[in-house]
Amino acid sequence: MASTVTTSKDSPATSRPGYGRLLRTRGAWTFLLPGFAARQPFAMLTLSLVLLVQHTTGSYGAAGAVAAVTGVSMALFAPYSGRLADRYGQRAVLVPGVLVHTVSGLALTALALTGAPLWALFAAAVPTGASVPQIGPMVRARWGVKLKGSPLMTTAAAFESVTDEFTFVVGPLLATALCTAVDPAAGLVTEAALTLIGGLLFAAQKGTQPRPGREEHARVEQGSALRVPGVRVLIVTFLGIGSVFGGMQVSLAAFSEAIGNPGLNGVLYGVFAAGNMLAGIACGAIAWRTTPQRRLVLAYAALALTASALWTAPSALLLAALGLLVGMCIAPALITGFTLVENLVPAGARTEAFTWLTGAVALGQAAAVMVAGQLEDRLWNGAGFLVPMAGTVLALATLMLSRSRLVPPRVTSPVTRGAAHREPVAIGET
């Protein structure tokens, strides 16, 4: 059944795309505010883990390995969480997930503080990562319901990227301040508390969540969002973006400690995230005339170029400047990737598709944290910055070779095939 778009003077579909119009969408603030609180812990988790485990073990390699287990667990379980949310509703998935994450995160903190063996930290890291609430994809799915058929969808994707990056400005600063000025465990304890409070408040907003699409999801269940060729290309692309996040988290922490100013870590990472946020704001305000496929390739090429220069920075000032440029290149790639999902994946599988992408970022980040930690321990100071270079260059090569798969398949109108014929779903191989 074709969706109808209201055409009142307040409808986003008839308005010039912009943040003002987007934020005046009826009911938007009811999920935006609790969603912001609930997604804040995501920006704190990895860095809080790295700082705590490094403090208790004295090894960035061990800290990176524990953080990597958390990230891999999240990446593996996030798509299934998204699929269940598409089928049964976000609240049904979010409430138990928030409770499990809070308990397992506190258990991981206690184990680290008591000097538990590394295998015990790994065991606690698995449920901690697997139960990370997928707030970002859930918010994006709610925008999809509110704005279906509207030109504001690109603006909404940009706004969500800006929100994500704002959390990555505040989160690392907060985690660093708590772990260095209060207690090494304060970052993870705060992360668990914010997850519990913000997640439950977000889950309580039942009026704006997408209706559980059991019938529609059943039609795409056999293929799943992962069967869309373009989604697989985007997953590789987002793995490379994750390598930037993970590699910089470890390497900036090691750099700050090496120069005798560990508190500088949060500032340097905040500058990187601020560049991402500012570029995201600009992306949402521009009326693009190029195709999203072309924008993604250009943005990713710029990202690979700037990330490849990080390891050459000899000073904190130059490193901050390069980090700012890297951040400014990430936002266009993220925004364009999420925008492409709207064209490639049916509505009944979009939360799952979004979680595949956020899971890919987490997996890339986890692998980067582990590898960068080993490089920092075994090679020279700053060797961890080689990870973002390698990750983005490899992902760019994949993107260039497979960019044709990002073009949505042409779908024949159901009217020409008979009134009783079911509308085709673009979910299979092309």
What is the predicted pLDDT for the residue at 222?
45
Contacts by 412-418, CB closer than 8 A, 24 or more apart: none
Structure tokens at 147: 């704005």
What is the predicted pLDDT for the residue at 106?
93
Could you tell me the residue ranges of all domains in the chain?
31-210+227-408
Quickly list DSSP for 15-79: S---HHHHHTSTTHHHHHHHHHHHHHHHHHHHHHHHHHHHHHHS-HHHHHHHHHHHHHHHHHHHH
Structure tokens at 342: 């709207």
What does DSSP assign to residue 178? I
What is the predicted pLDDT for the residue at 345?
67
What is the predicted pLDDT for the residue at 216?
46
The region that residue 394 occupies, defined by phi over 0 for left and psi between -120 and 50 for alpha, beta otherwise, is alpha
Residue type at position 117: P
> Structure pTM?
0.66
Tens of pLDDT, residues 345-398: 666 666 677 777 877 887 787 788 778 877 877 777 767 788 888 888 898 988
Residue of 92, 273, 259, 87 lying closest to 173 (CA atoms): 273
Cβ burial of 390 (10 Å; 0-12, 13-18, 19+) is middle
List, in order, residues 6 or more apart from 135 with CB less than 8 Å away.
Answer: 35, 38, 39, 42, 198, 199, 202
Q: Which residues in the chain come in under a pLDDT of 70? A: 1-17, 149, 151, 165, 168-169, 213-226, 228, 262-263, 266, 284-288, 313-314, 345-351, 382, 408-430
| Topology (CATH level 3) of domain 31-210+227-408 | Growth Hormone; Chain: A; (1.20.1250)
What is the predicted pLDDT for the residue at 123?
92
List, in order, residues 6 or more apart from 36 with CB less than 8 Å away.
Answer: 163, 167, 198
What is the predicted pLDDT for the residue at 195?
87
Tens of pLDDT, residues 270-283: 777 778 777 777 77
Residue 94 vs residues 84, 266, 302: alpha-carbon distances, Å: 10, 30, 36
